[in-house]
Amino acid sequence: MTSSAASLVPVNLTLGILLAVLLLVAAGVAAVTHLTADAGRSRSREILVAGVRAAVQLTAVSFVIVWVVKSVPALVAFLVLMFAVAVRTAGRRITPNHTWWLTAAPLAAGVVPVVAALLLTGLVPLKGIALIPITGILIGGALTVTVLAGRRSLDELALRHGEVEAAMALGLTDRDARLEVVRPAASDALLPGLDQTRTVGLVTLPGAFVGVLLGGASPLVAGAVQLFVLIALMAVQSVAVAVTIELVARHHLHRPERGAGDGPSAGTRGPAGRRPRAAGIRRRRSRGPGAS
């Protein structure tokens, strides 16, 4: 480790103890305040697992990346692995059914054109030491907004299914009716990236800026690199959110109805059983008051 990096965070026993304490604090707060998911899964346990996984994965990557940066085939394989893990993570956060893999579309639509432009213009060489961190930042940004946009969209459709049906009754197509409900909610996924870009240098100094400085570059060069990362992220995230919204609006990315299959109409109606019960009431009424 260089002297500048070592002065930032020394890697020693004290760091390890502090990391363990902070992880336990995060899990403890989640447990005490009962921060749980809709399905009742403990966020406390997820925090502990995420922290341990991060430690194991970063340790493994620290050894593997030395080999990856020296071989183009290994570099490509590593980038594909990064993308596949992101698709799996985003998809399973949004829906438990077989449509989760469709999150590959928003991730690829946002990330691939930007990375291709960087390579074709020569701004980033086909070398792991440069391509891996930049691609990782872009994939991570696309992953975050895809999860937020997908979850918000499907949650909103489940809560406001009546508005979708009302809009269709007024003549809108199914897609357009769903877009009217989905678009405002899903667009909130862009807010973290927008706020980070608007406050950079005033509130935070993001990782790319600090990393380039630690590498020995001037503050001006570090600022230019960070500016590129932030603007590229906004482009990637805008495309990812737009594609996610379209997938939801067209019934491609959806959730199964409770107690029902995961057909294309899932997520547009209320809780399962509402319509069958209403049909049963109508049948009883049609028999008359003396019907058995």
Q: What is the mean pLDDT of the chain?
A: 83
Q: Please check the confidence at residue 255 and state whether its pLDDT lies above 60.
A: yes
Give pLDDT tens digits for 83-95. Answer: 999 999 999 999 9
> Is the pLDDT assigned to residue 226 strictly greater than 90?
no
Model confidence pLDDT, tens digit, residues 148-157: 999 999 999 9
What residue segments make up the domains of the chain, in order of their start?
11-65, 69-270
> Which residues make beta-bridge pairs with 200?
204
Residue 173 DSSP class: -
What was the pLDDT predicted at 141? 95
Distances (CA, A) of 144 to 93, 246, 276: 10, 17, 38
Mean pLDDT, residues 272-276: 38
Backbone angles phi, psi at 199, to 5 degrees: -105, 5
pLDDT tier at 258, thresholds 50, 70, 90: low
Question: Do residues 89 and 143 lie in contact, with contact meaning Cβ atoms separated by under 8 Å?
Answer: yes
- Mean pLDDT value of segment 190-205: 87
Q: What is the dihedral of CA 31, 35, 38, 44, to 10 degrees?
A: -40
Query: Does residue 225 surpass a pLDDT of 80?
Result: yes
Q: Give the residue among 250, 254, 275 at the shortest CA–CA distance from 263.
A: 254
Give the DSSP letter of residue 42. B
Cα distances (angstroms) measured from residue 65 to each of 16, 51, 76, 114 = 22, 21, 12, 23
Token representation of residue 17: 């103890």
